[in-house]
Amino acid sequence: MKLPRSIKKAAFTLAETMVALGLFGIAAASSVTALIRMNNNAALSRLQTGASTVAQNRIDLILSDMPFNPQKGQVPPQLALGTRIEGTPAAPVVPVYTDPASGEVVVRGWLTSTIANTNTTAGSTALNIYQATVTVNYRYRGRIYSVVMETMRCPDI
């Protein structure tokens, strides 16, 4: 049985099929690349949020630790002048991200708190305003990331 001529022309050639598969492959490869990049950005964002939470918790402690009046010798340990370091790059101890499914700490970092007296005066009176800088560092995929927050604290008079 011989097919009508119009049906023979309706078929795709091998070249057309290969071009279509090539275009589909390029689109699939670019989609996979974009998804991998989005997944990496989501992980970095989670870690940034975790480190920001750790830094904010330390700032909250610095702002709320009572009583604070250096003129009367009332300085909480969190507001002692100087630099306090928790952990090191070689031995990170501060939990930055905990896996919600397993509860296991996945990424740890190290925290540095620096407390300095601004030596601000009003006339001849020392105001004892302290400046606190909190830095949380963590390592992810071989790179070190940091979150820095600062605050000021005046005496509770």
pLDDT by residue (tens digit) across 60-119? 999 998 899 988 899 999 999 999 999 999 999 999 999 888 989 899 999 999 999 999
Q: Where are the domains of the chain?
A: 5-153
Longest dimension (CA), the chain: 113
DSSP state of 101: T
Predicted structure pTM score: 0.80
Provide the percentage of residues in the chain whose pLDDT is more than 90.
Answer: 75
The SS3 call for residue 80 is coil
- The span from the CA of 69 to the CA of 61, in Å, is 16
Q: What is the pLDDT of residues 26-60, one digit of tens each?
A: 999 999 999 999 999 999 999 999 999 999 999 99
